[in-house]
Chains A and B, each alone.
Chain A
């Protein structure tokens, strides 16, 4: 399986350099050319899409970190053991619910005559509707939020209470303890969670397609692959690969792998 997987990645790498016949549109395997890369560099649309996707992936990761921290902290440090169990189940449930079901739910909420429009109606405003790029940010943040909560919760739970007591015994106020003790200790867990939120956003093409009309890297790859322009799709897919390998190497250095 490992061989099949990495063999496929190798073929993907090679196929980025295959020639696409300009007249017949046929792809010639193992005939080499740099046309695909030329296309990607000269056409500014691809740069815009790449920057947009990365920007949304960063935004989603930050949003999820902000939303996840309070609930994870509540679970780890405030909630009773019973409540902790209940909340763990409450967070696992939406995680296991089908991906497309969740995207579809947001589609019905956001679209005209949906829940949001009904909420806004008394104020005389109408729903923004599908087609907003911010929809992608909202829905992707929703989808990957549990992936961020669970590692942060696990990370917070591993911090021994004695460390926090020591910090306050030494005269630190709770704000200082939080900033100087809690945050550094839980940071690897946050990075571990961010691998999921960042990577899953980077590669998604279904959600952007269903809730907005702004294309992501994944849409370009999928569309070109189905239209038969394999070299272009392959060349473009090298971008998320390079980004994610870089991200993983940094994450490993930050100690995130022990928190996975």
Chain B
């Protein structure tokens, strides 16, 4: 079925419209980052780099950035180890309840974050665990594990079993086979899963608000607080601009890893 000319033109216009819708807010923020005026009003009154210096010198932003990086690294590491283990278990071994496990693994991302948030908060409170970076990492790990699991299991389904069997036949023990054969085969899946997990952790606020406690602030939490203080908006604009720039990196890397086909799985 070849689409008629009018259908094609209509689709082209709709595509253009959706792209404008997707990018307009980002473009407006990028322009605001260079606006000299302290007041957030359109159109901008000029061009300046001043707010960049102010943002770089802001101690609260630096602290929040440090926390966000630590939380992201922590949650991603936990997620990769546990997600890989779970994926191997589900894919390689038949055990009772295998299908239930794969359904349960959808839940942490399919249930709203606010549910995860309050569930963990109540549990930490009841168990007397004090809130901080550790509880943030646990909160992020719940959904990062799912990301790692999905990426690894998708790869394991495609990997042939024969190299592993060959390795075992040649006398390698289970651990050596895993380290020298299975792990390299999963390499890019781990990389793209880890990348996505880190990005989600870095961006998370819905769960973080519940598990952070009063003393620890991540970058999204800082933005959320600063947005509501008009005097800080010029600095928020700069942070937003930098975050928009940074978000192009994983897209680029993911494209490189998958050679333009598919990308990582949610």
Q: Do B244 and A70 touch across chains, with their CB atoms under 8 A apart?
A: no
Find residues 234-257 in chain A having any chain B CB closer than 8 Å to their own CB: 234, 237, 240-241, 244, 248, 252, 257
User: 14 other contacts beyond A92-B251, A99-B220, with CB at 8 A cut-off?
Assistant: A8-B123, A68-B18, A71-B11, A77-B3, A78-B12, A88-B260, A98-B243, A106-B25, A115-B28, A202-B112, A206-B206, A222-B117, A225-B117, A244-B110
Q: Do A71 and B28 touch across chains, with their CB atoms under 8 A apart?
A: no
Q: Do A210 and B106 touch across chains, with their CB atoms under 8 A apart?
A: no
Interface status of B111 (Cβ within 8 A of chain A)? yes
Counting from the closest, the 9 A-B pairs by CB-CB distance are A203-B112, A105-B25, A70-B14, A113-B41, A12-B119, A8-B119, A164-B1, A74-B11, A8-B123
Q: Please, how many angstroms separate the alpha-carbon atoms of A8 and B122 in the complex?
A: 8
Cβ contacts A1-36/B at 8 Å (1 or 0 each): 110111111011001000000000000010000000
Find residues 168-204 in chain B having any chain A CB closer than 8 Å to their own CB: 199, 202-203
- Size range of the interface on B? 35 or more
Q: B252: nearest residue on chain A (CB-CB)?
A: A89
Q: Do A11 and B240 touch across chains, with their CB atoms under 8 A apart?
A: no
Choose from A101, A146, A206 the contact partner of B29 (Cβ within 8 Å): A101
Shortest distance in angstroms between A74's beta carbon and chain B's nearest beta carbon?
4
Cβ contacts B232-257/A at 8 Å (1 or 0 each): 00001000100110011011001100
Q: Do B23 and A4 touch across chains, with their CB atoms under 8 A apart?
A: no
Interface status of B133 (Cβ within 8 A of chain A)? no
Shortest distance in angstroms between B30's beta carbon and chain A's nearest beta carbon?
9
Q: Which of A88, A93, A107, A146 has the most CB of B within 10 A?
A: A93
Choose from B23, B28, B39, B112 the contact partner of A113 (Cβ within 8 Å): B39
Interface status of B53 (Cβ within 8 A of chain A)? no
Q: Please, how many angstroms separate the alpha-carbon atoms of A138 and B4 in the complex?
A: 32
Interface status of B118 (Cβ within 8 A of chain A)? yes
Q: A200: nearest residue on chain B (CB-CB)?
A: B112
- Residues in chain A near residue B34, CB distance under 8 A: none
Interface status of A97 (Cβ within 8 A of chain B)? yes
- Residues in chain A near residue B266, CB distance under 8 A: 147, 196, 260
Summed over the interface, the residue pairs from A and B with CB atoms below 8 Å come to a total of 232
Q: Which of A147, A168, A248 has the most CB of B within 10 A?
A: A248
Q: B244: nearest residue on chain A (CB-CB)?
A: A97
Cβ contacts B12-33/A at 8 Å (1 or 0 each): 1011001101111110110010
Interface residues of B (CB under 8 A from A): 1, 3-4, 7-8, 10-12, 14-15, 18-19, 21-26, 28-29, 32, 39-43, 78, 82, 86, 101, 103-108, 110-123, 125-126, 138, 141-142, 145, 199, 202-203, 205-206, 209-210, 220, 223-224, 227, 236, 240, 243-244, 247-248, 250-251, 254-255, 260, 263, 265-266
Q: How many residues of A contact B (CB 8 A)?
A: 86
Q: Do A99 and B205 touch across chains, with their CB atoms under 8 A apart?
A: yes
Q: Do B206 and A4 touch across chains, with their CB atoms under 8 A apart?
A: no
Shortest distance in angstroms between B249's beta carbon and chain A's nearest beta carbon?
9
Shortest distance in angstroms between A31's beta carbon and chain B's nearest beta carbon?
13
Find residues 96-135 in chain A having any chain B CB closer than 8 Å to their own CB: 96-102, 104-109, 111, 113-115, 117-118
Q: Do B255 and A9 touch across chains, with their CB atoms under 8 A apart?
A: no
Shortest distance in angstroms between A83's beta carbon and chain B's nearest beta carbon?
10
Q: Do A165 and B110 touch across chains, with their CB atoms under 8 A apart?
A: no
Q: Do A195 and B110 touch across chains, with their CB atoms under 8 A apart?
A: yes
- Residues in chain B near residue A68, CB distance under 8 A: 18
Q: Do B119 and A70 touch across chains, with their CB atoms under 8 A apart?
A: no
- Residues in chain B near residue A165, CB distance under 8 A: 1
- Residues in chain B near residue A142, CB distance under 8 A: 21-22, 25
A67-B18 CB under 8 A given contacts A199-B111, A203-B114: yes
Q: Please, how many angstroms separate the alpha-carbon atoms of A182 and B192 in the complex?
A: 31
Q: A83: nearest residue on chain B (CB-CB)?
A: B15
- Residues in chain A near residue B82, CB distance under 8 A: 1
